Chains A and B, each alone.
Chain A
Amino acid sequence: MKIRLDHVVKTFETFRAVKDVSLEIESGELVALLGPSGSGKTTILRMVAGLEYSDGGQIYFGDQDATDIPVRDRGVGFVFQHYALFPHMTVAENIAFGMKVSKVKREKAAIEARVAELLRLVRLENLGGRFPAQISGGQRQRVALARALAVDPKVLLLDEPFGALDANVRRDLRRWLREIHSELGITTLFVTHDQEEALDLADRVVILKDGQIVQQGTPQEVCRDPKSAFVMKFLGDANVIAAEVRDGKAYASGATIAVSGLADGKAELYARPADLDWSLQGPGIPASITRVLDRPDGRRVLATVETGEHLEFDVEPERAVKAGDGGFVTLRRAKVFAIG
């Protein structure tokens, strides 16, 4: 089911949570809403679900205007950040709940068969009789997903699905959710503030800031071509170096890089730790190394340039660098954004 948001607005009291957001999610797509807290991502998700009503604009499910359809009849599966499992029901009863209360009457045997099937899908075959308090956080989230899928939703919505789990469980569940999505092909929208999670999991990432979409695209598009300094910074570690643009080139204390489409004037140069390198000869930004951090996959160098700015970059594990060394930071690649 294709979802389309058309100029959606939501205001809480005096706070504009969502400002004129238009967005299309293709049928079968897995899309991440990514943004810092307060960016309106959860509000958008809740409006798609029908848990909040928009103050303006329209939400379409396929060709149908779903804006005013109550959550009960909207046919969405919603997975809450803190699972929201019914604590007084067993895992199996939780999963069966939607089928039992549905307006579509189902045979008891049919419900039981479907519960067993879903328990298999989320790999919890033996835990049907347990209560939510008796299983782990990762298992609870899988039960929550099974419960949401039980009513054959047109759309699956997940609010920070792995936010409350520890890093390892998170990574496993991410891969697993991706597999389930490929298997079922259900249109899925999920909210996260974790850029790694969004990039790992989604077909398309929608980046939000202050209730507006600042950029959307495939993980490759947003990573390789961030359209603003905000997106650049939000997606990962970035060094910021003051620069000046003249005649299609950006100059940053000894380093130059070609830029296009920028007017002459002050600018900022953004470079990921992997975009910088270290060299004993110029040209480059003169700097001295203050610390070297050894990590499993390489060495992270902290350096200070003459103007007092700090830079971080990665070099390969074999490279002999140490605190106190002097040399030049060179640019492999960088993004330049005009100031203001």
Chain B
Amino acid sequence: MSATRTGRKPPRVGDAPVFRRLLIGIVLVFVALLILAPLVIIGVEAFSKGWAVYRDTILHPDTQHAIMLTVLAALIAVPVNTAFGVAAAWAITKFDFRGRRFLLVVIEIPFSVSPIVAGVAYLFVYGLQGIFGPTLDAWDIKILFAIPGIILASMFVTAPFVARELIPLMQAQGRDLEEAATSLGASGWRTFLSVTLPNIKWALLYGVVLCNARVMGEFGAVSVVSGNIRGQTNTLPLHIELLYHDYQAAGAFASASILALIAVFTIIAKVALERQGAGRVRASDPSAANPAEKAL
């Protein structure tokens, strides 16, 4: 059949030239206007007052503090959520227990709920008029309008990232490998380290990278619980907003450029990890334990 095919091929379904050009054109315009233009503006505006102003903004104590706070939040929230994500994925995919499906849904909630709702909820739980507020106040523990609140809010928003990457993969891999390792005499911990972890490492790293990007960029939930105290409870995104409202556009853009830079690194890391097979369930890995595996 293919031997006799010469000349023009008939267009595939939905591949008429006019339609094709139109569709690609629309997508390009959208990408340029909605995604690329703002990124370019950040770069241009950040340096609009010159390199010195840019450097001064970055080195300003308030900016430095905001960066430190953002990094601190990431340093705590990312490892905690990574541990949580691995534990949740392990529990859901390797054990049978009542409420497994329910847990699967609950883990996804932070994805579907607006971060600001989470922030307000935290106000009601830990605020002075809230459930634990008075008790915490009596013990002189400050959660709201302080660093713990920021970290808690960040953790809420990013809780599903790692678990969500791991669950479909671990579901597809099944329990055979762990059962094999255990029947050969390996302890639970040893099984995890030498059998489970090597098979999920790329997906895990992928989840960690996405989780980190989100922690550093989170605005809504953090803005409610932090109280926006300059130089004290301002993370980088909050700091940018504050600068902008103070009519320091160049400063705001300079700070924003740091976040944009983090975003670029995240994307590079993401693409590199996807090349290693993370972020999607491998469709036909011949060595996979379960032949009935399917993308979930």
Contacts and interface: CB of A to CB of B under 8 A. Distances in A.
A84 interface: yes
Contacts of A73: 185
B288 A101 contact: no
A84 B179 CA distance: 9
B290 A82 contact: yes
Nearest to A98: B184
For chain B, give the interface size range. Answer: 20 to 34
B183 A76 contact: yes
Interface string A44-88: 000001110000000000000000000111101110101111111
A193 interface: no
Contact of A97 (B179, B186, B289): B186
Interface string A132-157: 11000000000000011011000000
Given A80-B176, A82-B176, A101-B190, A87 B183 contact: no
A101 B184 contact: yes
Given A85-B287, A133-B285, A133-B286, A103 B180 contact: no
Given A51-B179, A78-B179, A133-B287, A88 B186 contact: no
A164 interface: yes
Given A84-B177, A87-B288, A88-B199, A102 B183 contact: no
Nearest to A76: B183
A234 interface: no
Given A87-B288, A88-B198, A88-B199, A80 B186 contact: no
Which of B182, B183, B198 is the most central at the interface, judged by chain A CB atoms within 10 Å of its CB? Answer: B183
Nearest to A88: B198
A164 B286 CA distance: 12
Nearest to A93: B194
A164 B182 CA distance: 23
Interface string B156-192: 0000000000000000000011011111111100100
Contacts of B176: 80, 82, 84
Nearest to A140: B287
B79 interface: no
A101 B187 contact: yes
Given A80-B176, A84-B177, A72 B195 contact: no
Contacts, number: 77
B291 interface: yes
Which of B182, B185, B186 is the most central at the interface, judged by chain A CB atoms within 10 Å of its CB? Answer: B185
Contact of A102 (B177, B185, B285, B287): B185
A51 B180 CA distance: 10
Contacts of B182: 71-72
14 contacts: A72-B187, A73-B185, A78-B183, A82-B289, A83-B289, A87-B285, A87-B288, A97-B181, A98-B184, A98-B185, A101-B185, A101-B187, A147-B184, A148-B184
Given A88-B198, A98-B184, A148-B184, 18 more contacts: A51-B179, A51-B183, A73-B185, A77-B183, A80-B179, A82-B176, A82-B289, A84-B289, A85-B287, A86-B177, A86-B181, A88-B199, A97-B186, A101-B190, A103-B185, A148-B183, A150-B184, A151-B184
The 3 A-B pairs of least Cβ separation, nearest first, read A98-B184, A87-B287, A84-B176
Interface of A: 49-51, 71-74, 76-78, 80, 82-88, 97-98, 101-103, 131-133, 147-148, 150-151, 164
